[in-house]
C-alpha cells in the first residue's frame, strides 16, 4: 500500500497563477484533510472532507478551494496564487473510529510563490 500520495512534490508559481495539488489515499478512509505548514506555525487546517461528497472549511480557507473527487482523491486548488501561500502543503486521511482520529499524512508539496 502506498498510503497517502501527493503530487507534485515541488512547485514554483508566479503571483496570480493557478494550480491544483493532488492527493490520493489507498487506505479506504472516509475522511481527508489539507493542511499548510509554515515555519514556527505548526500545522493549520485549510479544508477537510468528512466523507465523500462533503467538504468543510478549516482554520485558514481563504484563497483555496477543494474538491473531493471520489473516496480516494481530494484536491486543493489555488485560483490566484499569492506570496503568502508559500508553504508546505500536507494532505492527510483518517477513519474516524475510536477516539484519536489518527491521521495519516502524505509526503507534502513544497510550494513557492514568487
Partner 1 sequence: GQSLEQPSEVTAVEGAIVQINCTYQTSGFYGLSWYQQHDGGAPTFLSYNALDGLEETGRFSSFLSRSDSYGYLLLQELQMKDSASYFCAVRSGAGSYQLTFGKGTKLSVIP
Instruction: Summarize as ranges the residues that interact with partner 1 (CB under 8 A).
Output: 31, 33, 40-45, 48, 50, 56, 58-59, 90, 94, 96, 99-108
Task: Give the end-to-end CA distance of the chain in Å, rounded to a whole number.
Answer: 36
* Between 19 and 43, CB nearer to partner 1: 43
Least gap, CB of 59 to partner 1 (angstroms): 8
CB 49 to partner 1: min, Å: 9
Asked if residues 61 and 31 have their Cβ atoms less than 8 Å apart, the reply is no
Of 55 and 67, which has the nearer Cβ to partner 1?
Answer: 55
- Residue 22 CA to its chain's centroid (Å): 8
As measured in angstroms, the least distance from the Cβ of 101 to partner 1 is 5
Three-class SS string for 64-77?
EEEEECCCCEEEEE
Amino acid at each position: 500500500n502506498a498510503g497517502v500520495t501527493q503530487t507534485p512534490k515541488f512547485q514554483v508559481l508566479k503571483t496570480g497563477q493557478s494550480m491544483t495539488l493532488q492527493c490520493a489515499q489507498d487506505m479506504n478512509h472516509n475522511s481527508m484533510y489539507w493542511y499548510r505548514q509554515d515555519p514556527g506555525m505548526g500545522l493549520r487546517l485549510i479544508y477537510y472532507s468528512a466523507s465523500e461528497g462533503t467538504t468543510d472549511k478549516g482554520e485558514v480557507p481563504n484563497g483555496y478551494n477543494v474538491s473531493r473527487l471520489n473516496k480516494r482523491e481530494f484536491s486543493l486548488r489555488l485560483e490566484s496564487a499569492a506570496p503568502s501561500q508559500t508553504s508546505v502543503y500536507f494532505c492527510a486521511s483518517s477513519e474516524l473510529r475510536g477516539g484519536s482520529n489518527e491521521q495519516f499524512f502524505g509526503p507534502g508539496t513544497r510550494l513557492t510563490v514568487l
